Structures are given as C-alpha cells and as structure tokens.
C-alpha cells in the first residue's frame, strides 16, 4: 500500500504513458480519416453506377455441365 501513497511518477513511467496517449490519439485520427474516405467512395459509387456488368465465373465447379473438366472424352 505504500506505492499508493507516493504521488510521484517516475520519468520512465511518464514517458510510457505519454507515448501510449500519442499512439492512441494517432490511431483514432487515422481511423476517422479512413471512415471519411470510405464514406466518400460510397457516395461516388452511388452517383456513378458501373456501366459494365460484373465479371462472371466460368462455372468450372459445376459438374452437371457435359463439357466440364471431369466429363469423359
């Protein structure tokens, strides 16, 4: 209990606390920036829809096709 009565903080501990605060402050600011960038990208995608259809899978995994990769030749 003697440690609770000592109000002094060692310089090493003060340095660690300061570094942790700066790290989390920097982290939060970057997360906020990424959220704003994502919001802007969503707005752009809503205003300018894709003109081309999305690429289609050739369905190689479909074994019911007579010309599939496992069909006898």
- At 24, list the tokens: 């989390």
Tens of pLDDT, residue by residue, the chain (73 residues): 455 555 676 888 999 999 999 999 999 999 999 999 999 999 988 888 777 776 777 776 666 655 555 555 5
Query: pTM (2 decimals)?
Result: 0.48
CA angle 37, 39, 24 (to 5 degrees): 55
Which CA distances in Å does 67 have to 11, 55, 56, 57?
74, 21, 18, 15
Four-residue CA torsion sign, 65, 67, 69, 70? positive
């Amino acid at each position: 209990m003697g440690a609770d009565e000592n109000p002094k903080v060692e310089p090493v501990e003060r340095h660690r606390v300061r570094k942790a605060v700066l790290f989390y402050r920097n982290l939060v600011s970057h997360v906020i920036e990424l959220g704003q960038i994502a919001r802007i990208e969503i707005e752009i995608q809503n205003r300018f829809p894709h003109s081309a259809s999305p690429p289609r899978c050739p369905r190689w995994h479909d074994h019911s096709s007579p010309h599939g990769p496992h069909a006898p030749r």
